[in-house]
């Protein structure tokens, strides 16, 4: 009897954590793990979403990497190049601007809470709403930007302005998330450090680089990696703001993936999946490199 009860206790101890984990695990499996495995499998097939996928081995990858006459080879090249460009252009600003704003708000100026709300609010908007707002701002004929500058620049239709517009919109839209992370990190730094630095005659810049940054290195690593991953998945802004133009210069890989898989024409899901796998591998590699270089020393 006693032995049975002990066994029951042991069993319930084993099963209880799994039951708590179950909702997450089920959702993770259904919405992430299974689709990823299925997507990788599809990348080795020719599939139009209608008929049975035809297994073609590495043909999709061969075409993407070695067939320079193929449209899809070109798409991967252009799409990846523009995606990397966007990551390089936007990530520094998506880190630096929220960090500066969080540092400023950390000094508890007047109306700090109102400013915090104003900076955070764009993060709550849908990308379509964000783009509509900025399209009006950049409007050639009636936009405030051209009115103030007294020009008729087509901001979203010529380079380098198209990239500038995309980065501005993205930074404005994503300030909130990182800013909140930095604010909570900054509030955790002991004031003793700053007081000691004041006594030693440190300037504000010195305090920022010698105290603030090292103290929140972990949060910076997290936001750099997460922001990079997010920006690799750039889609909505170029789709709606620049429509991939001018002359494909802002057409990112996800736009090609979406068009090939779910465009107006018959689906080319095999090639689209192969492109998605390549993008996934790129994101993993870049994230691994970032971890290596930004790793917090224990």
**Interacting residues toward other proteins by CB under 8 A:** 8-9, 12, 16, 19-20, 22-23, 26-27, 30, 46, 48-51, 54, 70-72, 138-142, 152, 154-158, 243-248, 251, 259-260, 262-268, 270-271
Nearer to other proteins, 3 or 107 (CB): 3
CB of 159 to other proteins, least distance (A): 10
Instruction: Give the torsion sign (CA, 63, 285, 31, 179).
Output: negative
Nearer to other proteins, 96 or 129 (CB): 129
Minimum separation from the CB atom of position 40 to other proteins (A) = 19
C-beta closer to other proteins: residue 97 or 133: 133
Concatenated DSSP letters of 226-281: HHHHHHHT--HHIIIIITT-STTTT--HHHHHHHHHHSSSS--HHHHHHHHHHHHH
Rounded Cα gap, residues 64 and 74, in angstroms: 8
Name the residue nearer to other proteins (CB basis): 107 or 247. Answer: 247
Closest contact distance (angstroms) between CB of 142 and other proteins is: 7
Nearest distance, CB of residue 243 and other proteins, angstroms: 8
User: What is the C-alpha to C-alpha distance for residues 250 and 162, in angstroms, rounded to an integer?
Assistant: 8
């Amino acid at each position: 009897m006693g032995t049975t009860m002990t066994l029951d206790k042991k069993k319930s101890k084993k099963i209880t954590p799994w039951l708590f984990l179950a909702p997450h695990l089920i959702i993770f499996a259904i919405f992430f793990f299974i689709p990823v495995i299925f997507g990788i499998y599809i990348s080795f097939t020719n599939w139009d979403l209608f008929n049975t996928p035809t297994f073609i081995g590495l043909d999709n990858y061969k075409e993407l990497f070695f067939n320079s006459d193929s449209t899809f080879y070109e798409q991967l090249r252009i799409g990846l190049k523009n995606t990397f460009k966007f990551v390089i252009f936007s990530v520094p600003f998506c880190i630096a601007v929220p960090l500066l704003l969080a540092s400023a708000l950390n000094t508890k100026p007047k109306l700090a809470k109102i400013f915090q709300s104003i900076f955070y609010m764009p993060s709550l908007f849908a990308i379509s709403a964000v783009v509509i707002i900025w399209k009006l701002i950049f409007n050639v004929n009636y936009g405030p930007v051209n009115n103030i500058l007294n020009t008729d620049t087509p901001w979203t239709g010529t380079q380098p302005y198209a990239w500038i517009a995309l980065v501005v919109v993205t930074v404005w839209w994503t300030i909130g998330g990182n800013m909140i992370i930095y604010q909570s990190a900054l509030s955790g730094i002991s004031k003793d450090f700053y007081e000691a630095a004041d006594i030693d005659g440190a300037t504000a810049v010195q305090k920022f680089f010698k105290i603030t940054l090292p103290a929140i290195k972990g949060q910076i690593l997290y936001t750099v990696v997460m922001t990079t991953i997010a920006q690799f998945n750039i889609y909505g802004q170029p789709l709606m703001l620049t429509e991939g133009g001018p002359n494909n210069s802002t057409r990112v890989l996800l736009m090609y993936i979406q068009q090939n898989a779910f465009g107006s024409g018959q689906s080319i899901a095999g090639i689209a999946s192969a492109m998605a796998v390549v993008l996934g591998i790129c994101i993993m590699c870049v994230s691994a490199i970032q971890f290596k270089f930004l790793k917090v020393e224990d």
